[in-house]
Chains A and B, each alone.
Chain A
């Protein structure tokens, strides 16, 4: 696109090639499991960014979508029949999308802190309901016996890698299309976007539903990977918060930068555990450092450095320019 992206596509290709080759070089079960979770987190955060990064409508209860996708396959396993991942993941996404639609229509009338509170409340209510109806949901123990993704850590890893690349790719493509432009226009000034003939409600709800769909798929993916669905893994409010932190650290509003943030932080977070009780202290110190020195996000700042220089005021911001392929 325009050939103005600088070295970014090359770096991205190199990075993906590394991820594909990694298990060939270093086949370690623990490391692969960390990477699988990083891939899943990457999809969570990219999906969150579609709504919150582009339209500026911050969702503080994203775990609701993840949980609804995951618990759908949990309930199916418990009460109907075990579902294969081929069905469980897309249908989990659809269930979350429907919940996104139900929540999105009333919630998107709210702005700023009110939207944040409403989404947070919705996710908290779902979390509490799982505990209250523990007879049916397994409560804090969750539901076991969900069909596993594949039979080996290596195929699990490749499945998660392909799922991550596919999901982030689609979300990135939407962001680069005219839809991304209209969503950004809504973020900047909703009245002005309306005056330009943009049906802001439609686009906001649509973005919310797409975001929920990918969140739900990733939640169901997580359920199949662990063979288990429980509030700690897919519904906890700390999960929603972690997603926001990862997106902000990576850089919001471009999909890809937030996705990188998620991938890196998920791995860093895991490896910091070797510092025992200090790990949260170090993690938090890192986050504060990022917010202080790179308020736009680590990868937004880094990629700006890789782009051609903005000398004549011409477009040099590869990541945020629009393709307008008209699709």
Chain B
């Protein structure tokens, strides 16, 4: 059984069809990339899966259970975590306190057994993203790269079965991307974490993903391995361009 099945996801905002009957499945333990130009509907798909808003029609199955239209906190507590493109940390509080927020969710309290264990769990999560040395610092002083790590840590703190990453590398230099990318890869290999990722940094993206779904104007235009997707003429036309295909290719 696939861990996540998205069937005919359709979302209309007034006159705009943001996603048009998009279907795909995510297998347990894989890293699935979602590719497409701005406005293709990538984040809209994330928002529908994560419950930020309900699809106009279509169905989302998580571990066989229908989660279509459930509220975001219910879905998060099922073990489906997501990050946001623009991190919005809680200013005036420490890094640890920010990561504690998901640690007080029903899911984590159930897993940990009691609330007192939450700070220890939060520190362990910070270790996985190499942010433990900043645990007691105010978030106001973090760099953009550290904020991206914090955003990832907040999702991982839910001990999710799937994590959906919305442009985790956006605005980062190559040196800052490497540790985040490594952390994702490590969690995937060692703990079998399933990952869904949206990213425009093609080189790093292609290195990371096992399979890619490509979108354009809300429609799925291709699906397959990174190698097959970069030779897909529709994807080249809509997104990569000829030069882009070459860049993406170096990822392999």
Contact, CB under 8 Å: A199 / B138: no
Contact, CB under 8 Å: B118 / A178: yes
CB distance from B11 to the nearest CB of A (A): 17
- Count B-side interface residues using an 8 Å CB cutoff: 41
Residues of A within 8 A of B82 (CB): 195
Q: Is A307 an interface residue (CB 8 A)?
A: no
Q: Is B217 an interface residue (CB 8 A)?
A: no
A176-231 contacts to B, CB under 8 A, are: 178, 181-182, 184-185, 188-189, 191-200
18 A-B pairs with C-beta separation under 8 A:
A178-B104, A178-B118, A181-B97, A181-B100, A181-B101, A182-B101, A189-B88, A195-B72, A195-B73, A195-B155, A197-B73, A197-B106, A197-B108, A198-B101, A200-B73, A315-B94, A317-B92, A317-B138
Contact, CB under 8 Å: A313 / B141: yes
Task: Output the nearest chain A residue to B53 by Cβ-Cβ distance.
Answer: A191
Q: Is A8 an interface residue (CB 8 A)?
A: no
Kindly supply a per-residue 1/0 record for chain A positions 139-182, scoring 1 wherever the CB is within 8 Å of any chain B CB and 0 otherwise: 00000000000000000000000000000000000000010011
Residues of A within 8 A of B51 (CB): 194
Contact, CB under 8 Å: A178 / B115: yes
Residues of B within 8 A of A196 (CB): 76, 101-102, 105, 154, 157-158
**A139, B115: Cα distance in complex, Å:** 50
Contact, CB under 8 Å: B102 / A197: yes
Q: Is A320 an interface residue (CB 8 A)?
A: yes
Residues of A within 8 A of B136 (CB): 314-315
Nearest first, the 4 A-B pairs at minimum CB distance are A197-B105, A326-B115, A194-B72, A197-B76
**A313, B81: Cα distance in complex, Å:** 30
CB distance from A318 to the nearest CB of B (A): 12
Q: Is B225 an interface residue (CB 8 A)?
A: no
Kindly supply a per-residue 1/0 record for chain B positions 70-113, scoring 1 wherever the CB is within 8 Å of any chain A CB and 0 otherwise: 01110011000110100011111110010011101111100000
Contact, CB under 8 Å: A188 / B97: no
Kindly supply a per-residue 1/0 record for chain A positions 271-315, scoring 1 wherever the CB is within 8 Å of any chain B CB and 0 otherwise: 000000000000000000000000000000000000000101111
